[in-house]
Every structure is written in C-alpha cells, then in structure tokens.
Amino acid sequence: MGSNSVAALFLFLAAVPSILAVTFQVGDTAGWNSGVDYTTWASGKTFRVGDTLEFQYDPSHSVSVVDKAGFDSCDSSGETQSFSGGDTKIDLTTVGTMHFFCPSPGHCLGGMKLAVPVLPTASSPATPSPPSSSTPSPSFSPRSPRKPKIPPPTASPPANGTPDLESLTPSPSPSTPSLSPSTPSPSPSLPNAASKGVISYGVIGMTMVLMFGVMS
C-alpha cells in the first residue's frame, strides 16, 4: 500500500466522527424560548459525544451551562459557561449529563431548562481482516476401528488326523414298523383224518377174520 493510500485512510478515519455527528436544534421550530417543554423534546433522542446543540433565541434570553445543583435550584451563580447573541452552538465533548437554562429572571422557574444525557461516540464499522493465505486443511474425525467378525466355532479334528466316522455318518432314522401281517408259524403236523379211518377199518377187518377162524 502506497503512502498516498495510507494518508487517505487516516483522513477518512479522522472524518468518520464528523460524518456521524448530529446537530440538534433545541426546541425544533420553537427554538430556545419560554413555554416549551424541553424534557419532552429531549426524550426519545440520543445524544453522543461529537454532536452539537444549537440554541436559537431572541435578545430576551441567553444560555447558561451549570451543574446539577444549579440546574435544580435555577441558580446561575456557579455557571461554567454563559452565551448570548441569539444563535449559540455548543459541542458535546464529554460523556455525562449536561445542564442548561435561561438565567433571565423567572425563565428557568417557568420551565426554560434542558438536561441532555451524552453517550459515547457510536463505534465505526469494523474493517474486515484480509483472508489468510494459507488454506486450512480439512479436519477429519478418526473413525472407530471395526470389530473383526469372529467365525463360528468348528469341530476340531481328532488327534490322529482320522475323521470320526460316527460324527460323519448320519444317525439312522427310526425303524418303520412293518405294515404286513405277520405269518403264523406252522403248527405241528397232525395225522390226517382219512388215514385214521383207514386204520380203524383195517383193525376191525383183521379182528373179524381172526374171530371167524376161531369159530370154524
């Protein structure tokens, strides 16, 4: 930045308070005069250091700057400043309440008095700082490590390396009952009824032959 630019910047900063300063005409169109309620006039207005109060009045009035005690009692014996001439401009240079009244007999007691609370100068807009040349690296939040998946337990092989046949051979299914009726076992063979009859007739016949032989 050149020296001319720096000088221009300082001039601008020095002129900011004067640009922001406000000149208040006391009493507005009524001016500094009897019969005006200056408490109501001052309410709702903001007075700051650097502002100006302008008193416009006729030759029957003047302006005295006093402390609070002189203001409350309308006593101008302790006045710090006194003005006359019909058009008085007073700059507000310090923070605090400034007190004014007209010292003409009876005017202050009639309400021709003004108390102005002065606030600090409004702060000027802040000049934004130039962006940093270094680009901040994006921040990454570390991820929590994933838990390894544990495989399900497998059957360990036997010590001799030979697979267990019982574990590999499927268990037999329950026996299915036979639905065919069981065949009865053959009973011991009995003599045929016909053969019995033949034997009986043979015995009778032989008996009759023997009896016939004995009788003859």
Q: What is the mean pLDDT of the chain?
A: 74
**Is a pLDDT exceeding 50 seen at residue 136?**
yes
Which pLDDT tens digit goes with each residue over 180-203? 444 444 444 444 544 455 455 566
One-letter amino acid at 22 equals V
**Is a pLDDT exceeding 60 seen at residue 148?**
no
pLDDT bin (cut points 50, 70, 90) of residue 150 is low
Burial 4-22 (b: 16+ CB within 10 A, else e): eeeeeeeeeeeeeeeeebe
β-sheet with 52-56: strand ranges across = 23-25, 52-56, 87-91
Cα gap 216→19, rounded to integer Å: 190
Q: Residue 19 has what pLDDT? A: 57
CB atoms within 10 A of CB 46: 10
5 vs 60, higher pLDDT: 60
Cα gap 189→23, rounded to integer Å: 152
Q: Residue 155 has what pLDDT? A: 52
Q: Residue 183 has what pLDDT? A: 47
Tokens 């499927």 sit at which residue? 170
Which pLDDT tens digit goes with each residue over 20-48? 799 999 999 999 999 999 999 999 999 99
In order of their start, the domains of the chain are: 21-119 (2.60.40.420)
Over residues 97-101, the mean pLDDT reads 98
Q: Where would I find the beta strands (DSSP E) of the chain?
A: 23-25, 47-48, 52-56, 63-66, 81-83, 87-91, 96-101, 113-119
CB atoms within 10 A of CB 66: 25
Residue (of 2, 4, 5, 44) closest to 24 by Cα position: 44
Helices (H), 74-192: 165-168
**Is a pLDDT exceeding 90 seen at residue 55?**
yes
Residue (of 77, 85, 69, 68) closest to 103 by Cα position: 77
Q: Residue 20 has what pLDDT? A: 76
